[in-house]
Amino acid sequence: MGGTAIAIIYSPWGKRSGAHINPATTLAFVQLGKVAPNDALFYILSQFVGALLGAAVASAALATWIAHPAVNYLVTMPGESGPWAAFLAEIAIAFILMSVILHVSNQRRWHSLTGICAGLLVALYIAVEAPVSGMSMNPARSFASAVPAHQWRHLWIYFTAPLIGMLSAAQLYLRTHGAAQVHCAKLHHQNSQRCIFCGKAATSSSPASPNSKLAA
């Protein structure tokens, strides 16, 4: 999963779109003023549609295995510690991930490593935190698993906790660093794709200035 996240962020599609793949991430950048609300609406719609399509393809191709009770469509569920422990754990891991993304992506010396840092955190969370909450951090991912599994009981955790964690991290970064230190919503900026967020021309090696106009 960590390798998949890194591959998506540095892929041609990820370089073009910004590679959020997570509604909570997109909404955090809306709060930071780096994604226009109208754009965010279509990003979030696309994230949910993409997740549902992925779940549908996996269900069709791996029907026997993915429907097995031991797998259960990879639905995210609280562990033995219960739903409130899962809720707090999801807030914590989402907060840490967004904090790392903001601190790394806004440092000119390190911003090319944003995708690697995010992927390594995902891998660490799956190894360490997954027994507590199932390790979602992503409302679209949890919803896509819940649909074929028909498992809705704890979905509220995975719709609220990632948002709380990432929006809190964004707000803390704004208060401690200021809006001028948030350069762009794109997770990988050093590529030949024109940035759809800040409008920086292709082949740029660094994000646009904080005063760049949001892409229409």
Q: What is the DSSP letter of 191?
A: S
Q: What is the pLDDT of residue 197?
A: 87
Q: What is the pLDDT of residue 201?
A: 57
Domain ranges of the chain: 2-56+72-181
What's the average model confidence in pLDDT over 172-187? 91
47: nearest Cα among 122, 138, 175: 138
Q: What is the pLDDT of residue 207?
A: 52
Tell me: the pLDDT tens digits for 55-95? 999 888 888 888 888 888 889 999 999 999 999 999 999 99
Distance CA 29, CA 187 (A): 11
- Name the percent of the chain lying above pLDDT 70: 93
Q: What is the DSSP letter of 74?
A: G
Tell me: the pLDDT tens digits for 139-168? 999 999 999 988 999 999 999 999 999 999
Q: What is the pLDDT of residue 108?
A: 85
Tell me: the pLDDT tens digits for 120-142? 999 999 999 999 999 999 999 99
CATH H-level superfamily of 2-56+72-181: Glycerol uptake facilitator protein. (1.20.1080.10)
Q: How many CB atoms lie within 10 A of CB 205?
A: 11
Long-range contacts of 46-55 (CB under 8 A, 24+ apart): 47/20, 47/21, 47/22, 47/23, 47/140, 48/23, 48/140, 48/143, 48/144, 50/21, 50/140, 51/138, 51/140, 51/141, 51/143, 51/144, 52/143, 52/144, 52/147, 54/144, 55/144, 55/145, 55/147, 55/148
Token pair 């190894």 in the structure block, residue: 127
Q: What is the pLDDT of residue 143?
A: 96
pLDDT beyond 50 at 50: yes
Distance CA 58, CA 56 (A): 5
Rounded to two decimals, the pTM is 0.87
Distance CA 17, CA 11 (A): 10
pLDDT beyond 60 at 9: yes
Tell me: the pLDDT tens digits for 92-104? 999 999 999 999 9
The pLDDT-based confidence of 26 (bands split at 50, 70, 90) is very high
Amino acid letter for position 70: A
First vs last C-alpha separation in the chain: 32
Q: What is the pLDDT of residue 67?
A: 83
| 80 phi/psi in degrees, rounded to 5 | -65, -20
Residues 80 and 151 sit within 8 Å (Cβ to Cβ): no
The pLDDT-based confidence of 213 (bands split at 50, 70, 90) is very low
pLDDT beyond 90 at 169: yes
